[in-house]
Amino acid sequence: MSQGWGRRRFIASFIASATLLAGCSEKSPEWSLYDVSGHLPDLKFTLQGAGNRTVTERDLKGKTALLFFGYASCPDICPTTMAQLSEVLQKLGDDARDVRVVFVSVDPHRDTPDVLQAYVDAFNNKAIGLTGNEQQVADLARQYRIAYQIEKPSPGDSPDTYNVTHSRGVFIFDNAGRARLLASDTEAVDAVTADLRKLINTTRKPG
């Protein structure tokens, strides 16, 4: 199969996925971001973190989670998103203490858990970098309607030199692990901050 056909198939898959997700979510007067409450499954995964530690959704119990998919050698989308989320956390101030950014790599061949954790630490030392085997990553991506494709290396290139295409967006889960909001990569930092602060305050347990 040619790379051109593979890219077209990916784009078609991405458009279908994005259309489906947009169709089951909406921007309401209550939120600036897309409200996906009841349209996506609760946060659930089993992946590998730094130090070869198994990490599951239970490790995020009581935390508001910002989940997005990418890879460490991503040239533009991923570092921009990480920088924006770091700015959001700074603007949240004390409200950020129970928020965790969860970066899941769709490139498990190059992104070891330790490499991935070092990458996210450069942006925020409370962020969590996770990956897994091909099936684990594919299952989680499918669960949240994420499309991605690892392209073949160009003739003559190293087997580790290849491009990865992936869909965008940050999934926001409340402190009970329920999917609540979806932020596109075009959202303003202030809009994300305001919605996240509102979500934290409305779900915070007394005391």
Burial class (CB in 10 A: 0-12, 13-18, 19+), 101: buried
Predicted model pTM: 0.84
Domain range enclosing 195: 3-203
Residue 16, amino acid: A
Return the closest-CA partner of residue 106 out of 144, 146, 66, 77: 146
At residue 75, the pLDDT reads 84
Q: What is the distance between the alpha carbons of residues 177 and 59, in angstroms, rounded to a whole number?
A: 11
CATH number at residue 129: 3.40.30.10
Long-range contacts of 41-45 (CB under 8 A, 24+ apart): 41/143, 41/144, 41/179, 42/173, 42/177, 42/178, 42/179, 43/67, 43/173, 43/177, 43/178, 43/179, 44/143, 44/177, 45/104, 45/130, 45/136, 45/140
Segments in the chain below pLDDT 50: 1-25
145-184 pLDDT, tens digit per residue, is 898 887 776 776 667 777 788 788 899 999 999 999 999 8
The count of structural domains within the chain is 1
Return the closest-CA partner of residue 107 out of 62, 73, 156: 73
At residue 157, the pLDDT reads 65
